[in-house]
Amino acid sequence: MRKFQIINGPNLNLLGKREPAVYGHTSFEDYLEVLRATYPSFKIDYYQSNAEGELIDKIHETGFSYDGIILNAGAYTHTSVALRDAIQAVEAPVVEVHISNVHAREEFRRCSLISAVCKGVIAGFGLKSYELALLAL
Ligand code: DQA
């Protein structure tokens, strides 16, 4: 069975409640249920943390044994050299995902420190961005 790890970064535990006009009304747990039911032949693991080091630990833990990582690093996308180094250090392909179209928002969201070391980037399709990343992997 192919194994994929979804990793969500800071503030994404509030999906469904946080700025619904930008991020929608669905919690990630509800979306995950649908995603798993749609792809029963994949093992889809999920992890969320607001702490940068814990996201790095999860990348290290899964990055040598999973078939791919789907990473929404939240605001750390725009700031974290340490996350970039972690992605570069592991073997599994990492797809960078964003729910919103970061290029249509504030200027600082256009800069990603992780894109260059990811396999690809998917942004702007709401929660569907995660499914598109899964299909890409
Ligand atoms: C986000 C976009 C980031 O700029 C922001 O900091 C987030 C969520 C998205 O999924 O659209 O927390 O990664």
CB proximity list for 104: less than 8 A, separation 6 or greater: 124
Q: Which CATH number belongs to the domain containing residue 73 in this structure?
A: 3.40.50.9100
Of 19, 71, 77, the one to substitute when testing ligand 1's pocket (max ligand atoms within 8 A of C-beta) is: 77
Q: What's the pLDDT score for residue 73?
A: 98
**Active-site annotation holder among 23, 31, 76, 130:** 23
CB proximity list for 64: less than 8 A, separation 6 or greater: 90, 91, 92
Q: What tens digit of pLDDT does each residue of 53-111 get?
A: 999 999 999 999 999 999 999 999 999 999 999 999 999 999 999 999 999 999 999 99
> How far is CA 74 from its chain centroid?
8
How many structural domains does the chain have? 1
Q: Tell me the residue range of the domain where 41 lies.
A: 2-136
Cβ–ligand 1 contact at 74 (below 6 Å) = yes
CA–CA separation, 64 vs 32, rounded Å? 23
Average pLDDT over residues 2-15: 97
